[in-house]
Structure 1
Amino acid sequence: MRKLLTVGAFLLGAAQAQSSQGATLTVITHDSFDVDKKLVAGFEQANNVHVRFVKGGDAGEMLSRLILTRRAPIADVVYGLDNSMLARARQADLLTPYKSPNLAKVPAADRLDDAGLLNTVDTGIVALNYDRAYFQKAGLALPKTLDDLKRPQYAGLTVIASPATSSPGLAFLLATVNHYGEPGAWTWWREARANGLKLTRGWSDSYNKEFSRNGGKYPIVLSYASSPAAEVFYADGYDAAKLPAQAPTGNLFLPGSTYRQLEGVGILKGAKQPALARKFVDFMLSGPVQADFPTRMWVYPAASGVKLDPVFKFAQEPGVPAVKPEITANPQRLVDAWVTNVLRR
């Protein structure tokens, strides 16, 4: 009996020690995720938890990884899946519904899912950017349509992240299908590739390596309408009170090239820490985090009433055509068709 009591006391002590150290909450994100470490530390302290972040590649790569590991989930929470990927995540039965009370601050039109599979954290507009200095030096007029990008004078000037592995790439694909229809979109993609359109694995490769502004050779890049604001913000000597007349990059809002992206956070099925996962979803929609995101990831906060840095005057918000429901219903089918009709032709 004494031996049993001793063993019991040992196990109780071990459990208490483990409890005092707190649980671990694993959050998988796309590679561009960034949030103030002090905010994360505050969440950890308030909830007696250690948050472990796992970078999952670009959002498309991350989704594929989550689908492959869905029987043995590699995280509790996922951030960075968007409205172009929700249908595939739903079909794969990846997510557990949870509607954060903080969704009350998000306009109804920007809520990703009525069931709460994904709670909208931020919004952005996928758009083509251009390097002003390149076009000024070359004396080349800016293209006015997507078809212009197939013309000889724009040969080899554009870089885009692949729709098969990148969320902005997929968004751009959906925009072109919405604009041209499927046969017309496949024709545009084939002819643009024949004219030197470069495809990369993800946004980081396109923007940070291949874009002429950052040392690459392509002066047109698929990015976001807020990217020119980021260029100003990160320039030497940035002063919000003394903004320049224009950003070094600009947006090309060519018809059929823009897409309104809604990024969300959700709880993975089989999460080991479901209660803490729900708290983290609430955290991502909290006021401090919503205010922190814009000048870190260059997106718009989903919650209404968040004050933005003055530099966001360079982040244009054009009218974006609504995408037909049949296009967003099964984006993976369109990716497969793109591979067949563009890459393999």
Structure 2
Amino acid sequence: MLPRRLTQLTALAVTGLFATGCTLVGGGDGDESQATTVTLATHDSFAVPQRVLDDFESRSGIRIKVLNQGDAGELANKLVLTKANPVADVAYGVDSTFASRTLAEGVFAPYAAPAASKGPQRYALDGSGEGGSGGDGSDGGSRNGSDRLTAVDVGDVCVNIDTEWFASHDVPEPRTFADLARPRYSELLVTPSPATSSPGLAFLLATIADQGEDGWRDYWRKLEQGGVQVVSGWTEAYTQQFSGSSGDGPRPIAVSYASSPAAEIGEDGTPRTKALLDTCYRQVEYAGVLAGTDRSEEARKVVDFLLSPEFQRTVAENMYVYPARSGIELPDSWQQAAPLPDAPAQLPADEVSAGREQWIEQWRTLHEG
């Protein structure tokens, strides 16, 4: 996931936006006493306009109760720990760095959402296609997950820079991972920890994809020698330590998201920051019906709702992620400030599953040693 991302900076300012863990009471014309409540376990960044939820309830007779579970890692852990007695009927927000664990533990029930063919299949977890995935979900998915988890959104993690800082200090902007390790960029980079943060883990995986299994540790030694600052989470890194955000911190380079510059548009209409598109790592967020639910039919309709054009049109402005469904236009400001990266790095899901804990421990040894 996708911790609280930029919704922390904007959600309170958006009228009619729902982002709390309570039952949604629909405002439609239907008889609310006849509505079926479906519990949706999700991350703390979940936000959607109330009118969209009300319309869904009015049409479907389903009221969604949102159960926030922290970030993507916490959500995945909770789903695994409670799989024998699920805390919800459906889940949304398990991302591509943790999906393999939930699939191996049998957390999700099979469900091939009809709308998956309208774009989300590009990110299916069956070993082919874009995003370590793809295909039609009819074969490999039964083994690896494309019939159990369906992509809802994409949120690429990228290094962001404060362009005004580099211009005022007459320092060339970095572009690549190799640049970040150069002496001229010492003491400038801040990143969330891969041991405690989903974007921090994505950045670690990006360096592994870029440097290879034999080279990433040496690369991190260079970052450590160059004074990289590691903090516990994205909030501290981006909103407190990064000079390009509202926190006006001391460091002009921070690990965040490809979409982050869309929240940093100046009064003149131009972005004050930019994402380095050669440093991005693709994160995909998925939804699925939880195995063991006694409301499987209604839970499937909630998955369908998350893939609907009505919901997909809300995710950019409300959760600062890119819709997985094809044909959904991004806000005008995103065209310039936050285009979806064309060629982000990504490791196969099974490789991440096999190496994740070992890589984190090796990184921890380098950082703490």
**TM-score, length-scaled by structure 1:** 0.82
Given residue 252 of structure 2, which amino acid in structure 1 is its aligned partner?
A: P
Aligned to 1:214: 246
Q: 1:228 aligns with which of 261, 272, 285?
A: 261
Q: 2:85 aligns with which of 72, 97, 100?
A: 72
Instruction: Indicate whether 1:117 and 2:139 are aligned.
Output: no
**Structure 1: gaps (5+ residues):** 1-18, 237-242
Aligned to 1:315: 338
Once the 2 structures are TM-superposed, how far is the Cα of residue 272 of structure 1 from its aligned partner?
Answer: 4.3
Contact 1:58 / 1:165 at 8 angstroms: preserved in 2? no
Q: List per-residue Cα deviations over 1:321-342 (Å, max 9, x = no partner).
A: 5545363453534444444543
Name the Cα RMSD after superposition.
2.5
Contact 2:163 / 2:273 at 8 angstroms: preserved in 1? yes
**Which protein has the bigger helix share?**
1
Aligned to 2:280: 258
Deviates more, 1:176-185 or 1:146-155: 146-155
- Provide the rounded CA distance (Å) in 1 between the counterparts of 2:47 and 2:234: 15
Instruction: Indicate whether 1:82 and 2:95 are aligned.
Output: yes
Given residue 282 of structure 1, which amino acid in structure 2 is its aligned partner?
A: D
Given residue 320 of structure 1, which amino acid in structure 2 is its aligned partner?
A: A
**Structure 2: gaps (5+ residues):** 1-31, 127-136, 142-146
Q: How many aligned positions are there?
A: 316
Alignment of 1:1-345 (within 5 A): 20=33, 22-106=35-119, 108-113=121-126, 114=137, 115=141, 116-212=147-243, 213-215=245-247, 216-232=249-265, 244=269, 246-254=270-278, 257-313=279-335, 314-320=337-343, 323-325=346-348, 327-345=351-369
Contact 1:59 / 1:167 at 8 angstroms: preserved in 2? yes
- Provide the rounded CA distance (Å) in 2 between the counterparts of 1:106 and 1:97: 19
Find the residue that maps to 1:260 and give its secondary structure: coil
- Provide the rounded CA distance (Å) in 2 between the counterparts of 1:37 and 1:335: 41
- Provide the rounded CA distance (Å) in 2 between the counterparts of 1:327 and 1:202: 24
Q: Which is higher, the Rg of structure 1 or of structure 2? A: 1
Given residue 264 of structure 2, which amino acid in structure 1 is its aligned partner?
A: E
Once the 2 structures are TM-superposed, how far is the Cα of residue 344 of structure 1 from its aligned partner?
Answer: 4.6
Once the 2 structures are TM-superposed, how far is the Cα of residue 286 of structure 1 from its aligned partner?
Answer: 0.5
Inter-CA distance 172–291: structure 2 relative to 1 (3 Å threshold): same
Contact 1:98 / 1:278 at 8 angstroms: preserved in 2? yes
**TM-score, length-scaled by structure 2:** 0.77
- Provide the rounded CA distance (Å) in 2 between the counterparts of 1:135 and 1:312: 22
Inter-CA distance 295–329: structure 2 relative to 1 (3 Å threshold): same
